[in-house]
Amino acid sequence: MSDPLFLSIAELGKAYRSRKLSPVDITRQCLARIAKLDRQLNAFITVLEKESLARAAQAEKELARGKDLGPLHGVPVALKDLVDMAGVPTTYSSKAGSPKTPKRDAPLVARLKASGAVIIGKTNLLEYAYGAVHPDVGQTNNPWDPKRTSGGSSGGSAAAVASGMCYAALGTDTGGSIRIPAAYCGIVGLKSTYGTVDLTGVQALSWSLDHGGPLARSCADAALFLAAITGKRFTAKLPNVKGLRVGVMKHHDEARHMQSGVKKAVDSVLARLKKSGAKLTPVSVPDMDMAPDALMAILYPEASVIHQRLIAAEPDGFGEITRQQIEAGFAIPATAYVRGQMLQRELAMRFRKLFDDVDVLISPSVPWVAPAEDPALNDDSGAGEMLYSGLYNVLGIPALALPAGLSEGLPAGLQIATPWGADSLAFSVGAAIEAGVGLLHPPV
Amino acid sequence: MRVMASSKDLDAGLLRRMAELGGLKLPADRAEKLLPLAKALLKSCEKLETLDLEAKGGAGSLAPWGGLE
């Protein structure tokens, strides 16, 4: 058997049920891997050693007596540290307003527990998921090259999954916060359709743009995790891509940001799809390149209202960049916020028409591989990082990041977007691409 | 006709007034620090002003994400 920490969730479940592996042993191995690697990676804020071993022992007993809670039973997973888990501090990777120890589980955590998953810990994030590292917490380093970032804001979840510390993890995504770290770490991340994941008990950043979703090592694993946190059914069946209508996204500004190695990796996936019978058409939609402006006009004021009390009470608790972003949001004119919403609606109508002609949209996830540090949200590099991802937060459609291959030894990411509610189609086309690219394993 | 403060006209004093209207009292030193970010954000807002989008009224059918069209 290959390294058990890198098995798929289905393979792990099979090994549990045939008693070749045990939830307690696997949880111990995950904990040992965290102890070994996390000083270097800084992926976890809280490791739940006792609790996870107790849950694993319970899962082991339940499986032994035939009580099977499903595919995640006994599987170690992690939560981004902005979601409520009863009795466990939530820090938001900040020094403002933290830590808070909730009395109740967020509904998605309750569902995860009911699915038998072993929650092994809570992961590092950009402060309050708002684009910048708190200097006292530090960035999550990349398992492919610890001198680089894992991306954000769900970087801790991505690094933990990529390095074999757990099998899947929760992320949230307001402008790319699941897909950017998935791309940098060479794993799969889905920003599900707006509203699919119940975000009650999850710290909001922008209620119009926030989405939840899984980070995992394969499309099939991500589909299982999404099913567990939503109670809905998702699949990642390998489709026959013959006749699949693929819109290849053409953004006005992409040549300026694009690294040649990322372009090469994405182009080679597109060439394979074409060879398999998919119909590729270059597409763009009027005004779609202004989606980042709409995103900023909506995100900043919503985030400022959300953090209004805290910024007044504990301004020094925030890192300087986060503090500036929250303060600046108060000065956005209401008319700009409304124009952002108007463009959001208009683009949704235009993309609904576009989906009459194409089944899926494909682009890179990020135009480059993992940089040393996360770029600032509102400068040119921040705009480049969110070039492909932010549009789909504005639209609310599902968008899946997955590896397209390697560029100079680092993962290059590809993104698949599908119509509202077609999350399983994204997983399925992703699974077909994954079969050609293969799963990536970082050197750590 | 312009109805918003322009990013070109923005200085620390105007930024303080705008933030205060939005609900945050901003000390002068903070306004100075914020100025580059606030100018960049206002530029984004100005780009949105150039769009000629129709303001639709009434209770339309449901938009794809569940809001009103």
Contact A213, A192 (CB under 8 A): yes
Contact criterion met (CB < 8 Å) for B18 and A328: no
Chain B residues closer than 8 Å to A397 by CB:
64
B-side interface with A, Cβ within 8 Å? Answer: 3-5, 15, 18-19, 22-24, 26, 30, 33-34, 37-38, 40-41, 44-45, 47-49, 51, 53, 55-56, 63-67, 69
Q: What domain range is A262 assigned to?
A: 245-285+346-437
Domains of chain B by residue range: 12-42
Number of cross-chain residue pairs from A and B with Cβ atoms under 8 Å apart: 108
Residue A263 falls in the annotated catalytic set: no
Give the pLDDT mean for A18-42.
98
Contact criterion met (CB < 8 Å) for A346 and B26: no
Please check whether residue A210 lies inside any domain of the structure. Answer: yes
Domain shared by A132 and A21, yes or no? yes
Q: What is the pLDDT of residue B68?
A: 42
Which pairing describes strands A399-407 and A168-173: parallel, antiparallel, or unpaired?
A: unpaired
Domain shared by A185 and A271, yes or no? no
Domain shared by A178 and A269, yes or no? no
- Reading the block at residue A336, the tokens are 């700009």
Give the pLDDT mean for A259-275.
98
- Reading the block at residue A57, the tokens are 């022992």
- Reading the block at residue A127, the tokens are 């402060």
| Rounded-to-integer distance, Cα A87 and Cα A376, Å | 34
Domain shared by A103 and A221, yes or no? yes
Contact criterion met (CB < 8 Å) for A396 and B55: no
Contact A44, A160 (CB under 8 A): yes
Q: Which of A22, A93, A150, A177 is catalytic?
A: A177
Structurally, chain A folds into a number of domains equal to 2
Query: Does A155 score more than 60 pLDDT?
Result: yes
Domain shared by A167 and A217, yes or no? yes
B22 half-sphere exposure, CB direction, 13 A CA radius: 28
Residue with tokens 């950043």: A205
Please check whether residue A7 lies inside any domain of the structure. Answer: no
Domain shared by A191 and A275, yes or no? no
Which DSSP symbol is given to A190?
Answer: E
- Stated as kind and residue range, the H or E segment containing A283 is strand A279-283
Contact criterion met (CB < 8 Å) for A331 and B19: yes
- What tens digit of pLDDT does each residue of A49-90 get? 999 999 999 999 999 999 999 999 999 999 999 999 999 999
Residue A154 falls in the annotated catalytic set: no
Domain shared by A142 and A270, yes or no? no
Contact criterion met (CB < 8 Å) for B65 and A312: no
Please check whether residue A314 lies inside any domain of the structure. Answer: no
Secondary structure (3-state) at A170: strand
Query: Does B54 score more than 80 pLDDT?
Result: no
Contact criterion met (CB < 8 Å) for A304 and B22: yes
Query: Does A258 score more than 70 pLDDT?
Result: yes
Query: Does B56 score more than 80 pLDDT?
Result: no
Domain shared by A185 and A258, yes or no? no
Residue A177 falls in the annotated catalytic set: yes
- Reading the block at residue A34, the tokens are 């965290």
User: pLDDT-derived band of residue A380, with 50, 70 and 90 as boundaries?
Assistant: confident
> Can you tell me the ipTM of this complex?
0.90
Question: Which residues 392-411 of chain A have a CB within 8 Å of chain B?
Answer: 395-397
Domain shared by A181 and A80, yes or no? yes
Is A297 at the interface with chain B, CB within 8 A? Answer: yes
Chain A nearest C-alpha distance from B19 (Å): 4
Domain shared by A277 and A216, yes or no? no
Query: Does A137 score more than 50 pLDDT?
Result: yes
Contact criterion met (CB < 8 Å) for A329 and B47: no
Among candidate residues A160, A195, A230, the one where a domain is terminated = A230
Q: What is the pLDDT of residue B69?
A: 38
Query: Does B62 score more than 70 pLDDT?
Result: no
Chain A residues closer than 8 Å to B19 by CB:
327-328, 330-331
CATH code, domain with A87: 3.90.1300.10
Which DSSP symbol is given to B68?
Answer: B
The predicted model scores a pTM of 0.96
Q: Which of A93, A98, A153, A365 is catalytic?
A: A153
Contact criterion met (CB < 8 Å) for A332 and B66: no
In the chain, the amino acid numbered A426 is A
Interface test with B, best of A310, A321, A378 (most B CBs within 10 A): A378
Please check whether residue A239 lies inside any domain of the structure. Answer: no
In the chain, the amino acid numbered A201 is G
Contact A157, A173 (CB under 8 A): no
Please check whether residue A354 lies inside any domain of the structure. Answer: yes
- Stated as kind and residue range, the H or E segment containing A148 is strand A145-149
- What tens digit of pLDDT does each residue of A312-351 get? 999 999 999 999 999 999 999 999 999 999 999 999 999 9
> What mean pLDDT value characterizes chain A?
96
Specify the range with the lowest mean pLDDT, choosing from A85-94, A407-416, B1-10, B52-61: B52-61
Please check whether residue A336 lies inside any domain of the structure. Answer: no
